[in-house]
Amino acid sequence: DAMVIQNPRYQVTQFGKPVTLSCSQTLNHNVMYWYQQKSSQAPKLLFHYYDKDFNNEADTPDNFQSRRPNTSFCFLDIRSPGLGDAAMYLCATSIEVSGANVLTFGAGSRLTVL
Amino acid sequence: GQNIDQPTEMTATEGAIVQINCTYQTSGFNGLFWYQQHAGEAPTFLSYNVLDGLEEKGRFSSFLSRSKGYSYLLLKELQMKDSASYLCAPQDSNYQLIWGAGTKLIIKP
């Protein structure tokens, strides 16, 4: 089945220790997104790629970086995680960025910072 | 600014009907989405409205009034598995999704 797969599902790290989260998709979608979601809050868009074009949200901290080496894969790097970065990180894909832009989400990566 | 307003939590009984309201203010408008999110899981797509009126899809229906900046999600014949958060998300003029914090729906037997 075509899908969006995130690894790892659960990540525990220490304060300041870099973390990389991965996302892969078999949908061949043009657009890939990274969202941060804290408990009982709205998902917060960190950045998205349209093909290889990178779009960073204005309020995304520099501590968060991303790479998309090819259509299928996208990575989220958190260079120096702080306690406030503990959250669920959601990867999503869509065919386009306009119109009925339905997002398909991965299962998420839950990050715990000790 | 852009703002989404939906109730934090609602409770309903199995087999009943519930309506979850959402009011929004966005810079431009290009349709509105509803997503369902079970606890600890990712959101899944429920519905999309771009024109005024009611869209029905099985037990779930979604309504939109663009002039009022208002939408609702109607769930019929509630089942225990419908216990989840329901997120309202309009698209602004740049096709950016503006997410609400979601309404947590609790279904009681």
Q: Is B99 on the interface with A (CB under 8 A)?
A: yes
What distance in Å separates the CA atoms of residue B75 and residue B17, rounded to the nearest whole number?
6
**Interface contact flag, A100 B50, Cβ < 8 Å:** yes
Per-residue pLDDT, B28: 93
Per-residue pLDDT, B107: 97
Average model confidence (pLDDT) across chain A: 94
C-alpha dihedral sign at A14, A15, A17, A20: positive
The Cα of B35 is separated from the nearest Cα of chain A by a number of Å equal to 10
What distance in Å separates the CA atoms of residue A103 and residue A48, rounded to the nearest whole number?
12
Q: Is A3 on the interface with B (CB under 8 A)?
A: no
Least confidently predicted of A31-40, A47-56, A94-103, B31-40: A94-103
The Cα of A16 is separated from the nearest Cα of chain B by a number of Å equal to 25
Q: Is A106 on the interface with B (CB under 8 A)?
A: yes
The Cα of B43 is separated from the nearest Cα of chain A by a number of Å equal to 7
Per-residue pLDDT, B1: 74
> Measured between beta carbons, which residues in chain A are less than 8 angstroms from residue B4?
42
**Interface contact flag, A42 B104, Cβ < 8 Å:** no
Residue A41 has pLDDT above 70, yes or no: yes
pLDDT (tens digit per residue) in A61-102:
999 999 999 999 999 999 999 999 999 999 999 998 777 889
Per-residue pLDDT, B66: 97
> Measured between beta carbons, which residues in chain A are less than 8 angstroms from residue B100?
42
What distance in Å separates the CA atoms of residue A35 and residue A108, rounded to the nearest whole number?
9
Per-residue pLDDT, B39: 92
- DSSP state letter for B51: S
Encode chain B (109 residues) as per-residue pLDDT tens digits: 789 999 999 999 999 999 999 999 999 999 999 999 999 899 999 999 999 999 999 999 999 999 999 999 999 999 999 999 999 999 999 888 999 999 999 999 9
Cβ–Cβ under 8 Å, residues B49 and A100: no
**Interface contact flag, B100 A101, Cβ < 8 Å:** no
Cβ–Cβ under 8 Å, residues B22 and B88: yes
Query: Is B87 in a helix, a strand, or coil?
Result: strand
The Cα of A14 is separated from the nearest Cα of chain B by a number of Å equal to 22
* pLDDT average, residue stretch A35-50: 94
